[in-house]
Copies of this chain bind each other. A is one copy, B any other.
Amino acid sequence: MRPAETAERLSRRIAVARGDEPADLVIRGGRVFSVFTREWLDGDVAIVDGVVAGVGEYEGTETLDATGHHVVPGFVDAHVHLESSKLLVDEFARLVLPLGTTAVVADPHEIANVLGTDGVHWLIDACEESPLEIYFMASSCVPASELESPWRALTTGDLEGLLHRSRVLGLAEMMNFPGVISGSPSELEKLALARHVDGHAPGVTGKQLQAYVASGVGSDHETSTAEEGRERLRAGMWLLIREASAARNLQALIPLALEYGPSRIAFCTDDREPEHIADEGHINSMVRDAVALGVTPEDGLVMASLNPATYHGLDHLGALAPGYQADVLLLPDLESFAPDFVLKAGRPIGEIPHVQVPEWVRRTMHLDAVAADDFHVPWQGGSARVIGLIPNQIVTAALVDELTVSDGFAVADPARDLAKVAVLERHLGTRRVGLGFVRGFGILRGAFGATFSHDAHNVVVVGVDDRAMALVVERLRELGGGIVAVDEQVRAELPLPVAGLLSDRPLGEVLEASREINAAAQALGVTFPAPFQMLAFLALSVIPSLKITDRGLVDVDRLELVPLPV
């Protein structure tokens, strides 16, 4: 993926390296990190045309004083869903570049569920002007399972088309690991498209894991124990240590870096909420936490720069050495890993152009008006399947309980912490609604809902009042998507008009709205921590145990629809 060179650029770079021509910029006085030997070198970094020409004693047209600083390559996020930030890519870049993340490899499967390849092509195009260097993997599992309803399923032909885009590096996480392991022809057909394939293998071990790796999958970011990680490394997988908002694996996996060294281990954020990035940081937070857990700063830096670049074949990134792109961080210390200064391709981060969002990307709410009785559940009594929440986890328990009945309908019962949950298909106007019950939110009145709900991003609404649930949907229709909390009326909202996934507002406004909806949820009585994160995973049909889509309740372990009554 090293950009094509012109003879003129190459000739100039060599002349600068020789010392016969001045560099555009020389970084002087710092300690320069060699990712290859994990040493600190005293020397200048000579940069020309955005590329490192040499490390040594150099003169340049401009000089950047790095005295007292550690000079290190920019961080690369090995696996991220940009949409989880709720930010447009320009605003995402404004957030993470100052934190030292200068390149990311994104799986656009959220927007792919909403807008198919059209949405992915738009997103790729929208990244063109970004100083944050954004690569993509072609989303391999849209929908996540047959029990979800995206706008359109991505076909093998769609994936082939995406793989032809120059910024698409390979096939994104093969989430259908049971399909891969069982040798499903449709999954093998996808695997045949690419040599570079990300994995997704939560809990897969033993021969199942050998089979998954034998298929050609090269990495896993769903590893949650050191023993699983050890098995993956031994089998030749790259271990992408993931520290997402709802799934944090760094602490459990860092002992592997201590035992084996950093080889074939890279950091990724997967899904981070905007608050998480704003409060804790991005890849830099993983280096910081790894070092706090005993990793040397040098090993931590390698897992954040050279390793993710190497894994993805981005051979122009991840190092400060001749021929590498000059993505450079000046770190004041080796504890916080918060850069004082960031250079992207040899330049300071300037103004970042605003992404233009075409109307078709804003018009993704294709569902009719709903009324309270659309949420009615006729019920004659008896036991029902109930989704049981578990704090700080996105897996759920498959509970069985009696439902409270009123006038021949099953109803929410705040006294028993039983709320109603509905998933409404919103892409094709099918009027399909899945209805069920959930325990654990603690909601006492009103309702809340969102269009950001993995992976199909249909409308998910939780409430104890059918009229409030209808009002949530009505407001989401008006907004073109978002997150809404309703009491008698709309109490708070985070509009996500871009595909129903992203805000078009600056980070500050998003954070403020996010705080407001969380506060509003609390005002409704909600006690579950980070309720909208949980809400976003309630409809994901590939995370155990009981989930719900627009098609109804899903027994994830058997990957089949199950009726509400037991």
Bound-state CA distance A201–B207 (Å) is: 47
A185 touches which of B7, B36, B210, B236 (Cβ 8 Å): B7
Chain B CB within 8 A of A296 CB: no
Complex interface residues of chain A between 20 and 41 (CB less than 8 A to chain B): 34, 36-39, 41
**Which of A316-324, A337-345, A528-536 interfaces with chain B?**
A316-324
A36 touches which of B11, B38, B183, B233 (Cβ 8 Å): B233
User: Which residues of the other chain, B, contact A263 by a CB distance below 8 angstroms?
Assistant: 36, 263
Chain B CB within 8 A of A261 CB: yes
Are B195 and A54 in contact, CB atoms less than 8 angstroms apart? no
Bound-state CA distance A264–B38 (Å) is: 12
| Interface size bracket, A side | 35 or more
Chain B CB within 8 A of A19 CB: yes
Are A53 and B230 in contact, CB atoms less than 8 angstroms apart? no
Q: A37-B230, A56-B206 are in contact. Are A213 and B321 (CB under 8 A)?
A: yes
User: Which residues of the other chain, B, contact A192 by a CB distance below 8 angstroms?
Assistant: 5, 7, 10
A sample of 21 inter-chain contacts (CB < 8 A) reads: A7-B192, A10-B188, A10-B191, A10-B215, A10-B216, A14-B180, A14-B183, A17-B210, A18-B181, A18-B208, A36-B233, A36-B234, A36-B236, A37-B233, A53-B210, A53-B211, A54-B210, A56-B207, A195-B315, A210-B322, A234-B321
Chain B CB within 8 A of A132 CB: no
User: Which residues of the other chain, B, contact A315 by a CB distance below 8 angstroms?
Assistant: 195
For the complex with contacts A17-B210, A41-B234, A234-B321, 9 further pairs of A-B residues with Cβ separation under 8 Å are: A5-B216, A14-B214, A34-B234, A37-B260, A39-B234, A53-B211, A56-B207, A215-B323, A236-B321
Are A210 and B56 in contact, CB atoms less than 8 angstroms apart? yes
Complex interface residues of chain A between 520 and 551 (CB less than 8 A to chain B): none
Are B36 and A207 in contact, CB atoms less than 8 angstroms apart? no
User: Which residues of the other chain, B, contact A235 by a CB distance below 8 angstroms?
Assistant: 55, 321-322
User: Which residues of the other chain, B, contact A56 by a CB distance below 8 angstroms?
Assistant: 206-207, 210
Chain B CB within 8 A of A2 CB: yes
| CB nearest to A189 among chain B residues | B7
Copies in the complex: 2
Chain B CB within 8 A of A15 CB: yes
Bound-state CA distance A410–B183 (Å) is: 80
Q: A54-B207, A261-B261, A322-B213 are in contact. Are A188 and B11 (CB under 8 A)?
A: yes
Are A14 and B260 in contact, CB atoms less than 8 angstroms apart? no
Chain B CB within 8 A of A457 CB: no
The contact string, 1 if C-beta is below 8 Å from chain B, for chain A 164-191, is: 0000000000000000111101001101
Are B322 and A38 in contact, CB atoms less than 8 angstroms apart? no
Complex interface residues of chain A between 226 and 265 (CB less than 8 A to chain B): 230, 233-236, 260-261, 263-264
User: Which residues of the other chain, B, contact A2 by a CB distance below 8 angstroms?
Assistant: 195
User: Which residues of the other chain, B, contact A39 by a CB distance below 8 angstroms?
Assistant: 234
Chain B CB within 8 A of A477 CB: no
User: Which residues of the other chain, B, contact A189 by a CB distance below 8 angstroms?
Assistant: 7
The contact string, 1 if C-beta is below 8 Å from chain B, for chain A 298-328, is: 0000000000000000010001011110000
A234 to chain B, nearest CB (A): 5
| CB nearest to A260 among chain B residues | B37
Are A38 and B260 in contact, CB atoms less than 8 angstroms apart? yes
Bound-state CA distance A15–B206 (Å) is: 13
A234 touches which of B37, B181, B210 (Cβ 8 Å): B37
User: Which residues of the other chain, B, contact A233 by a CB distance below 8 angstroms?
Assistant: 34, 36-37
| CB nearest to A2 among chain B residues | B195
User: Which residues of the other chain, B, contact A7 by a CB distance below 8 angstroms?
Assistant: 185, 188-189, 192
Chain B CB within 8 A of A467 CB: no
Bound-state CA distance A322–B235 (Å) is: 7
Q: A2-B195, A235-B321 are in contact. Are A54 and B211 (CB under 8 A)?
A: yes
Chain B CB within 8 A of A13 CB: yes
User: Which residues of the other chain, B, contact A182 by a CB distance below 8 angstroms?
Assistant: 18
A345 to chain B, nearest CB (A): 16
Q: A2-B195, A191-B10 are in contact. Are A322 and B236 (CB under 8 A)?
A: yes
Are A18 and B211 in contact, CB atoms less than 8 angstroms apart? yes
User: Which residues of the other chain, B, contact A321 by a CB distance below 8 angstroms?
Assistant: 213, 234-236
Q: Most chain-B CB neighbours within 10 Å: which of A16, A55, A191, A234?
A: A234
Bound-state CA distance A213–B16 (Å) is: 12
| CB nearest to A7 among chain B residues | B188
Complex interface residues of chain A between 264 and 319 (CB less than 8 A to chain B): 264, 315, 319
User: Which residues of the other chain, B, contact A185 by a CB distance below 8 angstroms?
Assistant: 7, 11
